[in-house]
Amino acid sequence: MAHIVKNIAELVGHTPLFEFVRLEEKYGLKATVLGKLEYFNPSGSIKDRTALNMLLDAEEKGLIKPGDTIVEDTSGNTGIGLAAFAASRGYKLKIFLEEDQSIERRKILKAYGADVMFTSQVPRIKEAKEAGIFSMAFYQKAIEEYCAAQETKHFFINQMSNESNPNVHYSTTGPEIWNDADGKVDILVATAGTGGTITGLSKFFKEKNPDIRIVAVQADKKSRTGSSDNPKTIDGIAPFYGDDIRNEYKAPFMVSFEYDECIEVSGEDTYSTGRDIARTEGIFLGQSAAAAMVAAKQVAQRPENEGKNIVVILADNGMKYLSTQMYDK
């Protein structure tokens, strides 16, 4: 029977669960490390799931129709996913991006026909940043006001508080992992940006088995996006734990997701682990994926985890980071 794909929406999800056999052998890991290779999604990241689900839900609720302009605030991957689906479904797209994200993200967005603006070009955000009065609620309100002030309809799809974001991981990413691992999942390792992935997965796995341990990974202080003194930052993710991380800085899901342990990783370890995995396994990881693998290796070395299955969420691959010091050596 012929099997011909007619729309990129059909290519979202059902990504492979890959065992890092060579890495396990090289480092004598006690646990099995299974990576969910999310770069197999059509625009190359886990955020395709979120982007498509948010669009489908908004369409179903009659909030948008082809020809409308969709607006989003993103560190890149959600924007890239939205740009691909907007193109294939007949929407225009305006993306607000932080200036410090890798150049590849900007170029890919433009290739799909999206209109890219820096957040600092929104007058109220610029003023707030200069005055140091940043909060997530303020930021979202400023974009909402920007949308309302436009002559044509601008729909702010807002992954930060859109329930379709975590819901898609609860309904697709989690069940795919569960089925592919045949229900043998002991530990989940994931990073967080909006917190959508970990919110949906944590809920799914805790319902399946409350003993499944959720390990959430964040960049250490000097490796966070925006750190001016360190070129080795980890793009696409945000911190959620620590004295300096106030709730008003965080996206709503980042305040509420459930986890058992937070592991902080450095940009240096992330970059060297990314290069090591490319050369050991032939798997070319993006920054957050490599950061998750730094944590997964640590967890896999613990004697109490002997024989356990660790599932690691690998959000994207290395293509968008070729210009960074991770691979530009």
The set of catalytic residues is 47, 288
- Give the footprint of ligand PMP on residues 96-155 (CB under 6 A): none
Binding of ligand PMP at residue 186 (CB under 6 A)? no
Of 35, 74, 98, 16, the C-alpha closest to 273 is 35
Q: Coil, strand or helix: which one is 225? A: coil
Tracing tokens 């689900």 back to the chain, one arrives at 53
Cβ-contact 74, 67 below 8 angstroms: no
Sequence-ordered alpha helix ranges (H) in 90-180:
103-111, 123-131, 136-148, 164-168, 174-180
Q: Which of 47, 106, 154, 250 binds ligand PMP (CB under 6 A)?
A: 47
Exactly one of 195, 239, 267, 274 binds ligand PMP (CB under 6 A); that residue is 195
> Among residues 42 and 68, whose Cβ is nearest to ligand PMP?
42
Strands across the sheet with 92-97, in order?
Answer: 115-118, 92-97, 69-74, 154-156
Binding test (CB under 6 A) with ligand PMP, winner from 196, 239, 267, 274: 196
Q: For ligand PMP, how many residues bind (rule: CB under 6 A)?
A: 18
Taking CB atoms, the residue at the shortest distance from ligand PMP is 193
Q: How far is the CB of 226 from ligand PMP (least distance, A)?
A: 14
* 237 binds ligand PMP per the rule CB under 6 A: yes
Among 172, 194, 317, 324, binds ligand PMP (CB under 6 A): 194
Per CB under 6 A, does 270 bind ligand PMP?
Answer: no
Residue with tokens 């691959």: 317
Nearest distance, CB of residue 189 and ligand PMP, angstroms: 12
User: Applying CB under 6 A, which of residues 97, 192, 216, 217 lies at the interface with ligand PMP?
Assistant: 192
Q: How many residues does the chain have?
A: 329
Helices (H), the chain: 21-27, 47-60, 77-89, 103-111, 123-131, 136-148, 164-168, 174-180, 196-208, 252-256, 267-281, 287-301
User: Which CB sits closer to ligand PMP, 167 or 309?
Assistant: 167
Answer yes or no whether residue 316 interacts with ligand PMP by CB under 6 A.
Answer: yes
- Hey, CA dihedral for 189, 186, 297, 285, is it positive or negative? negative
Q: Give the binding site for ligand PMP (CB under 6 A).
A: 45, 47, 75-77, 191-197, 236-237, 286, 288, 315-316
